[in-house]
Amino acid sequence: MLSNAVLAGAVAAAYVAALVLHLNPSIRLDDPAAWPLLAAVLLVYGVHLAVVFYAVIVARQVLSTEGVSPGWLSYRVLAWFCAAASTAAAALMWQNLWGFSAALDPDTTQRFFVAAVTMTTCAVACVALGLFRLWGGRPSRVAAAAFGMVMLASLVLPLVARGVGEASRLGAGRLETSPVFAPDASARRVVLLAVDAASLDFISPAVADGRLPNFARLLDAGASMHLATLRPTQPGPVWTAVATGKLPWRNGVRSAATYRAVAGGAAVDLLPDFCFAHALVSFGLLTETLQTSAALRAQPVWTILGRAGLSSTIVRWPLTWPAQPLLGTLVSDEFHRASEIALALDEPGLTYPTELASRLARVGRPSVHSSPQALEPEHEAVGATPLALDRFYVALTDTLAAETPARFTALRVQGLDIVGHYFLRYAMPQAFGDVSEEERRRYGRVFEQYYSYVDAELGRLLDRLQPGDLLLVVSPFGLEPLSLPKRLLERTLGNPNISGTHERAPDGFLLAYGTAVKPGRYPRGSVVDVAPTLLYYYGLPIGRDMDGYARADIFTTAFSAQRPIAYIPTYER
């Protein structure tokens, strides 16, 4: 019983390891640096799955009226276990191939597809052998040999399809020179409000009920569309795709962090979905290193605008630390992490230019003494700190707007995402079923109140718009209830209060408002459409190597008639 469970667990763990290798083609099989990572995956999954398989055998023994006495390597036991493992592996491959398609280059995608087809074929063969045994087929050396060949093929052929591995080809690399074009003189100022985890599915009903009046102004008199997001749906890679107009396999940022075994060795960007791989980080078996601006391999839109002579003010955009030079000012998303403002003044990379930190000293530090509503102590930090940080960065943006006005301003508010992770269950109790009336009364409006705060900030931006200005409100992904298995996992990991997630990539949105905007609801777009649309508004050509499209349809006929879409091969060389 134990030997069969261990072998089945080892086979299933090998499938997970193969999945990790397909998602990270830069890991070379002939490089000893890959061994610690693969050993960690094989050990953790092998042990846990062996326990599961052993428990199944024991349950079969207890519940069956006829005892089972398998051999050390039992065809009848392993046939079913390996059929289940290979079927699950095939399903995982297809799910991850589809989910991470934006993060994989075409060659890797093709190899992954071949591996998924191979694994599916092997799974079908395993199931067929199991059914043959179930329907009265007598055990024989031929059947056992066929089973062994199928299992060997399921382990070897996906790796053959992948190959040994090769150095990363992410992105074209940022070069010091790029084409310079003159912007259209009629294009005025653009203000972009970047909001994490907002959703039209929540905003639209609130607007219909008379709440969120400033969002109502945009929906009534502006353009709106859903935006398809990317996976992994993390702020770093998704906002980088927004800024560059390129998918992760082009811009170099495939995930928010890199992961490495505690014993060292090679690092990976992507961990597979649907098999609790991130629990390896939570349990300390993998170390996590957050990405920085050094990971970018494509020009963000503000760099392109700067080469055209258009200044920018960028505040709290992900992966802007250390701050890179641009025409204008930049406050990185790490600025608030300095323990004291004196530290921020001395630490390079928190702002650009570096001396900007001293000019912002008078704004003060974030205060966490106010929250959306009176909360219990266990929720106070969750409700107050995000709001304080958003207000802090809004104050920084106001200071910069007064001192150094820019043609393009981008401000990101993150608090709605953080609050939503903890308070969504109280805002949507019907999706969870275990929310008491007292909890609904106490916390039910926290999430909506944060929307009200964002709505108020949106109103301030609307009041400051001048004729010809363009206001964009972009959310790169929405928020939805955490599934029951994930809620149980979070409780196991010590996070029982987490209830919202965006890992299944719910749509974000784009709202546009201004004299050049044609009001209406428009077909669904993508997060990579934002940068090309900005370039189009300014009269600049779009790089053909960008994955997004200029949404000229959201502008009036008078505006677009005088501004045809132009292209250049790339801004990267």
The domain limits of the chain are: 2-162, 190-252+294-329+370-568
pLDDT digits (tens, 9 = 90+) for 171-216: 445 544 455 666 666 668 999 999 999 999 999 999 999 999 999 9
Closest by Cα among 183, 214, 414, 203 to 301 = 183
Residues 81 and 5: their CA atoms lie apart, in Å, by: 8
Quote the pLDDT of residue 60: 76
| Residues 417-450: b if buried by 16+ CB within 10 A, e if exposed | bbbbbbbbbbbbbeeeeebeeeeeebbbbbbbbb
Angle at 25 between CA 490 and CA 279, to 5 degrees: 10
pLDDT in tens, the chain (573 residues): 888 889 899 999 999 999 999 999 989 888 888 899 999 999 999 999 999 988 888 887 777 666 666 667 776 777 888 889 999 999 999 999 999 999 999 999 999 999 999 999 999 988 888 777 666 555 567 777 888 898 899 999 999 999 988 766 554 455 444 556 666 666 689 999 999 999 999 999 999 999 999 999 999 999 999 999 999 999 999 999 999 999 999 999 999 999 999 888 888 999 998 888 888 888 888 999 999 999 999 999 999 999 999 999 999 999 999 999 999 999 999 888 765 555 566 677 889 998 888 888 777 666 644 444 434 444 444 545 888 899 999 999 999 999 999 999 999 999 999 999 988 888 888 888 778 888 888 888 888 899 999 999 999 999 999 988 999 999 999 999 888 878 877 777 777 788 888 988 899 999 999 999 999 999 999 999 999 999 999 999 999 999 999 999 999 999 999 889 999 999 986
How far CA 480 is from CA of 229, 231, 276, 431, 503, in Å, comes to 14, 15, 19, 10, 9
DSSP bridge partners of 223: 512, 520
Closest by Cα among 479, 526, 554, 433 to 228 = 526
Residues 416 and 452: their CA atoms lie apart, in Å, by: 10
269: helix, strand or coil: coil
Quote the pLDDT of residue 371: 44
| Residues 168-202: b if buried by 16+ CB within 10 A, e if exposed | bebbbebeeebbebebeeebbbbbbbbbbbbbbeb
H or E, element range at 335? none
Residues 82 and 154: their CA atoms lie apart, in Å, by: 10
Residues 539 and 562: their CA atoms lie apart, in Å, by: 10
User: Which tokens go with 42?
Assistant: 């094989």
Angle at 15 between CA 92 and CA 137, to 5 degrees: 95
Residues 125 and 87: their CA atoms lie apart, in Å, by: 10
Residues 480 and 508: their CA atoms lie apart, in Å, by: 12
Quote the pLDDT of residue 175: 45
- Dihedral of alpha carbons 310, 311, 314, 318, sign: positive
> CATH assignment of 190-252+294-329+370-568?
3.40.720.10
User: Which tokens go with 410?
Assistant: 């981008």
Residues 144 and 275: their CA atoms lie apart, in Å, by: 29
How many alpha carbons lie under 13 Å from residue 361 in its C-beta half-sphere? 12
Closest by Cα among 303, 237, 221 to 531 = 303
Q: What is the DSSP string of 6-61?
A: HHHHHHHHHHHHHHHHHH-TTS-TT-GGGHHHHHHHHHHHHHHHHHHHHHHHHHHH
Quote the pLDDT of residue 545: 93
